[in-house]
Amino acid sequence: MSPAPVTADKIMDKLVSLAKRRGFVFQSSEIYGGLGSVWDYGPLGVELKKNIKERWWRSMVHAREDIEGLDAAILMHPKVWEASGHVSGFSDPLVDCKKCKNRFRADDPRIKGTPGQPDAQCPVCGSKGTLTAPRQFNLMFKTFMGPVEEQAAVIYLRPETAQGIYVNYLNVLQSSRQKIPFGIAQIGKAFRNEITPGNFIFRTREFEQMEMQFFVKPGTENEWFEFWRSERMTWVEGLGIRPDKLRWHQHDKDELAHYATDAYDIQYEFPFGWQEFEGIHNRTDFDLSNHQKYAGKKLDYLDPKTNERFIPYVVETSAGADRTTLVVLCDAYREEEVGGAEAAEGGDQRVVLKLKPSLAPLKAAVFPLVNKDGMPELAHRICDDLRRHFNVFYDDGGSIGRFGITIDGQSTQDQTVTVRDRDTLKQDRVGAAQLVDYLTQKLAG
């Protein structure tokens, strides 16, 4: 990881407070002091994240004939996590400070020296020689099913959505008439008891994933891997992210997850450095083979053309909905120098989120120039009309809607309105009857 820029904390602090002020993201259970690394999405945040998820769903499921959608349950048979390797392998090496009782990932860059040795220094209390040697700590949340808290009833909150896809692979294959190669896509919650969570919604304990597993004939996986790398980067660029803030990172042998033989991350340059927000993984037949073994159920595929039987290989595209939302927010965040009435927040500085219009939570604000002479009535009529097509609101005066629609004296005469682009501050005079078409065009893409 590249060193974080000096101003990183400041920018993140500003973004977190802007997100709260405007109703994007709130700390979970805030009135009780908050729950660590769990966040709630407010009125604008829920719309933004939903727009991102819907965009993903449209491009991965609706726009393709070879991908089916799925919504599997969070709770699954406990054997799933034995077969997937998560019970034995999904862990982080952790060290504890015996003095201040804090816990860290063994690779925490703030630790000086070697944990377990006398030279190691605790990054919180500064004591020397108090850090334990690393121990493995499983990241899955456990809970109990049924009334008796006994070992047999232990189940896990899923740490990834992918397994719900694997265990339904046959069901989807048989009910959808797909043939290999084909994919199954799903958006859903995942839970990880992360030890060093942080950076706002970057690494949280409860989050949403947008995952797609593409089942292919063994031997063709490298081709599909490259295909999906290119597709996913195109999709990410379509969010309007500045291209110089995006890059690929290939996992080396030490980084690869237990199930993968090749993996590339799409990284974004966050204020705290380059970090992944989506991964493309070659998972081979690891998961399906293990489920076949653990469940005792045949999961191989009979190729109708060649009569060959094989267990498909899987190319996975795995994106975090929350992390992608953070990418979009970080990339859209701008502080601009303005004068006069535009200085909405903080002296002559204006803080704007330059969101791509199609992602913006609120598309337009409609307001009368003055509250008389038939202007409010016309503004209400126009707003109600637009509401059937877009998420718009009446008379806020704030700077939230992507477009500002003003109803003035001229509007009541000739049924035209002023539409102002909040980012460029450019204005157009548009006929009220043409507003839906006008906005549709502006919001496309």
Options 9-17, 59-67, 171-179, 270-278: segment touching ligand ATP (CB under 6 A): 270-278
Length of the chain: 445
Instruction: Out of 92, 278, 285, 423, name the contact with ligand ATP by CB under 6 A.
Output: 278
Beta-carbon contacts of 285 under 8 Å, excluding residues fewer than 6 positions away, are 218, 311, 312, 313, 314
Distance CA 405, CA 397 (A): 11
Rounded to a whole number of angstroms, the minimum distance from the CB of residue 75 to ligand ATP is 19
- By the rule CB under 6 A, 276 interacts with ligand ATP: yes
What is the enclosing helix (H) or strand (E) of 174?
helix 169-176
- By the rule CB under 6 A, 68 interacts with ligand ATP: no
Place of tokens 């003035």: 408
Complex with ligand ATP: residue 268 or 390, whichever CB lies closer: 268
Q: Which residue is nearest to ligand ATP (CB)?
A: 320
Distance CA 185, CA 214 (A): 9
Complex with ligand ATP: residue 134 or 320, whichever CB lies closer: 320
- By the rule CB under 6 A, 277 interacts with ligand ATP: yes
- By the rule CB under 6 A, 279 interacts with ligand ATP: yes
- By the rule CB under 6 A, 45 interacts with ligand ATP: no
Within 124-245, strands assigned E span: 135-138, 142-144, 154-156, 182-191, 206-216
Rounded to a whole number of angstroms, the minimum distance from the CB of residue 211 to ligand ATP is 8
Q: Do 176 and 213 form a contact (C-beta atoms < 8 A)? A: no
Dihedral Cα 233, 238, 243, 247, nearest 10 deg: -20
- By the rule CB under 6 A, 209 interacts with ligand ATP: yes
- By the rule CB under 6 A, 81 interacts with ligand ATP: no
Instruction: Out of 22, 55, 192, 232, name the contact with ligand ATP by CB under 6 A.
Output: 192
- By the rule CB under 6 A, 207 interacts with ligand ATP: yes
Options 45-53, 64-72, 202-210, 339-347: segment touching ligand ATP (CB under 6 A): 202-210
State both tokens at 50.
């939903």
Say which DSSP state 3 is in. P
In degrees and rounded to multiples of 5, residue 443 shows phi and psi of -95, 0
Say which DSSP state 128 is in. B
Rounded to a whole number of angstroms, the minimum distance from the CB of residue 316 to ligand ATP is 9
User: Which residues of the chain form contacts with ligand ATP (CB under 6 A)?
Assistant: 192, 194, 203-204, 207, 209, 276-279, 318-320, 322-323
